[in-house]
C-alpha cells in the first residue's frame, strides 16, 4: 500500500527533532554513549506509523529503541506518536535497512524487530525482502552471539520462505508459531497486526538467534539474483537468475526432474525418476552439511530450470569445480544450458572470487563438452570415463573483454 502524502511534512518532521537522529552514520559504534542512560540498544526495521515502537519503548525505559523507516510520510506519524507520549528512549532514522552496516558497529544491537515487512511476492524481487540472505548477513554483523531477531508477519508464503533463509544462514529458531494470538493477544502489537487481529488473520512469529554458525557478511556474497539477459537458440530474449538453494526450490526442482540419459555411460542403469518428498527432504538436509560445496538453483522467472553446485571449493587456491544439471530434457537445445553455464561462471569469478574453475564431463556426453569448449574452457586431460576442463580468471577476463560471456 502506498503511503498518503502528509501535509507539511518538513515542518512536522522538524518539530520532532528531539526523537529523530539527523546524522545517524556518525553514531555508529557510539549509540549508547550519544544517548546515555540506556543499558542496551534494540532496533526496529520498517516501523511504519509506530504503534509497536511507542509501546515497546514505553515498556522498557532502560533500552534505547532505534527505529528505521524509509518512508518519511509514515515515519512522521511514528515520531509524533512518541513525542505525544513523552518517550525519551526512542530515536528514528529516516533511512533504508540496507545501510545497516554503516549505521551500527559489530555487536552493537542486542535485538532486532522486523514486523510485517513488505512481502515482495515475485521471486525476482526476493532480494528486497527484509529476510533475504543479504539482509540476514547484515543483521548478523550488527548482533552479538546470542542476539536475536523477532520476526512477525501475516504472510504465510513469506514466513515459510523466511524460515528457510534463516535456517540456511545458520540461525537458531525459537518460538516459531503460525498463530501467535491463538489463545488471545500476545505481546506488543503493531498497527498492521492490530488490524489483522481484529479481522481474525493468523500471525506467524519466530525468534532467530545468532549462533557461531550464523553467516555474517564475512561469509561472502549471496547470489545477487543477477539477471542474465540472453538470447535463446531461436533468437528470443529471456533471462535467468540464481537463487540460494532452499528446501522449497529443491522440491520445485525434483517435482519436474527426469534423469538425463547423457549422464549414464551404461544406459541400462537408467531408471525413471519418481518424486518422493521425504527423500528430497533428506537429500536437502544432507547437502547442507558439505562445507566445501555451495548450492544454487537456476531460475527463469519463477520456474526452476536447473541445479548448480560449486564443489571441491579450495579457499587457498581459489578453485572449484562446477556442475549444472537441467531439470529435464524439455530445457535442452534451447540455449538455456549455455546461458546457465555463463551465469555460473560469472558468479564463480565475480562474486565467489575464484581464480580457476574446473568442470568434467562423461566421454559420452558430447553435448556438455561442446558447451564447455564453446564457452571458453580448455580441455586439460582425459581418462577412460571423463574429459576434464579448466578456465582461469585470465581467460574469463579475456572473454568478458570480447563480450562473449
- Asked if residue 284 binds ligand SAM (CB under 6 A), the reply is no
- Asked if residue 191 binds ligand SAM (CB under 6 A), the reply is yes
DSSP of 67-109: EEES-HHHHHHHHHHHHHTT--SEEEEES-GGGHHHHS-TT--
Pick out residues in 117-136 that bind ligand SAM (CB under 6 A).
Answer: 117-118
Minimum CB separation of residue 244 from ligand SAM in Å reads 19
- Pairing between β-strand 90-94 and β-strand 237-244 as defined by DSSP bridges: unpaired
Minimum CB separation of residue 358 from ligand SAM in Å reads 39
**Separation of CA 10 from chain center:** 35
CA distance 251 to 217: 28
Pick the piece of the chain touching ligand SAM (CB under 6 A) from 96-104, 281-289, 314-322, 360-368. 96-104
Closest to ligand SAM by CB, 70 or 346: 70
Minimum CB separation of residue 128 from ligand SAM in Å reads 7
Closest to ligand SAM by CB, 111 or 294: 111
CA distance 197 to 50: 17
CA distance 194 to 51: 9
Helix axes 133-142, 156-168, angle to 10 degrees: 60
Minimum CB separation of residue 24 from ligand SAM in Å reads 12
- Degrees, nearest 5: CA angle 172-314-356: 125
Chain residue whose CB lies nearest ligand SAM: 46
Minimum CB separation of residue 193 from ligand SAM in Å reads 6
Could you give the residue ranges of the DSSP H alpha helices within 319-381?
Answer: 336-346, 366-375
Minimum CB separation of residue 200 from ligand SAM in Å reads 17
Q: What is the DSSP letter of 5?
A: P
Pick out residues in 59-78 that bind ligand SAM (CB under 6 A).
Answer: 68-71, 74
Is 118 in the active site? yes
Pick out residues in 240-279 that bind ligand SAM (CB under 6 A).
Answer: none
CA dihedral over 249, 298, 262, 265, signed as positive or negative: negative
- Asked if residue 9 binds ligand SAM (CB under 6 A), the reply is no
Site string for ligand SAM, 146-185 (x = CB under 6 A): ----------------------------------------
Torsion from C-alpha of 314, 320, 321, 324, nearest 10 degrees: 120
Closest to ligand SAM by CB, 24 or 48: 48
Closest to ligand SAM by CB, 71 or 270: 71
Catalytic residue among 118, 175, 227, 262: 118
User: Of all helices (H) and strands (E), which one includes residue 9?
Assistant: helix 9-14
Cα Dmax for the chain: 79
Closest to ligand SAM by CB, 47 or 357: 47
Closest to ligand SAM by CB, 117 or 230: 117
Binding residues (CB under 6 A) for ligand SAM: these are 45-48, 68-71, 74, 96-98, 115-118, 190-193
Q: Would you name the residues annotated as active-site residues?
A: 118
Amino acid at each position: 500500500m502506498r503511503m498518503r502524502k502528509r501535509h507539511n511534512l518538513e515542518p512536522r518532521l522538524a518539530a520532532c527533532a528531539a526523537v529523530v537522529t539527523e546524522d545517524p552514520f556518525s553514531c555508529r559504534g557510539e549509540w549508547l554513549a550519544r544517548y546515555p542512560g540506556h543499558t542496551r540498544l534494540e532496533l526496529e526495521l520498517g516501523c511504519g506509523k509506530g504503534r509497536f515502537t511507542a509501546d515497546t519503548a514505553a515498556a522498557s525505559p532502560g533500552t534505547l529503541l532505534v527505529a528505521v523507516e524509509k518512508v518519511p510520510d509514515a515515519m512522521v506519524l511514528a515520531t509524533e506518536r512518541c513525542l505525544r507520549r513523552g518517550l525519551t528512549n526512542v530515536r528514528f532514522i529516516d533511512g533504508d535497512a540496507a545501510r545497516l552496516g554503516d549505521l551500527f558497529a559489530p555487536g552493537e544491537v542486542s535485538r532486532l524487530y522486523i514486523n510485517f515487512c513488505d512481502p515482495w511476492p515475485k521471486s525476482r524481487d526476493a532480494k528486497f525482502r527484509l529476510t533475504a540472505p543479504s539482509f540476514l548477513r547484515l543483521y548478523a554483523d550488527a548482533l552479538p552471539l546470542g542476539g536475536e531477531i523477532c520476526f512477525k508477519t501475516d504472510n504465510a508464503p513469506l514466513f515459510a520462505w523466511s524460515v528457510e533463509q534463516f535456517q540456511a544462514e545458520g540461525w537458531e529458531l525459537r518460538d516459531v508459531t503460525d498463530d501467535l494470538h491463538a489463545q488471545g493477544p500476545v505481546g506488543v502489537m503493531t498497527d498492521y497486526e492490530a488490524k489483522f487481529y481484529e479481522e481474525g488473520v493468523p500471525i506467524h512469529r519466530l525468534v532467530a538467534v545468532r549462533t557461531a554458525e550464523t553467516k555474517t557478511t564475512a561469509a561472502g556474497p549471496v547470489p545477487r539474483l543477477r539477471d542474465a539477459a540472453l538470447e535463446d537458440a531461436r533468437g528470443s530474449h529471456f533471462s535467468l537468475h540464481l537463487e540460494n538453494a532452499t528446501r522449497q526450490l529443491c522440491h520445485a526442482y525434483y517435482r519436474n526432474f527426469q534423469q538425463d540419459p547423457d549422464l549414464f555411460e551404461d544406459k541400462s542403469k537408467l531408471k525413471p525418476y519418481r518424486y518422493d518428498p521425504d527423500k528430497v527432504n533428506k537429500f536437502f538436509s544432507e547437502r547442507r552439511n558439505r562445507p566445501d560445496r555451495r548450492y544454487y538453483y537456476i531460475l527463469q522467472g519463477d520456474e526452476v530450470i536447473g541445479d548448480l553446485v560449486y564443489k571441491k571449493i579450495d579457499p587457498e587456491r581459489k578453485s572449484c569445480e562446477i556442475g549444472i544439471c537441467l531439470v529435464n530434457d524439455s530445457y535442452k537445445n534451447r540455449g538455456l544450458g549455455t546461458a546457465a553455464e555463463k551465469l555460473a561462471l560469472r558468479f564463480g569469478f565475480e562474486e565467489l572470487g575464484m581464480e580457476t574453475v574446473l568442470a568434467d564431463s562423461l566421454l559420452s556426453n558430447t553435448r556438455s563438452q561442446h558447451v564447455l569448449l564453446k564457452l571458453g574452457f580448455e580441455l586439460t586431460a582425459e581418462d577412460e570415463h571423463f574429459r576434464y576442463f579448466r578456465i582461469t580468471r585470465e581467460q574469463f577476463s579475456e572473454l568478458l573483454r570480447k563480450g562473449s560471456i
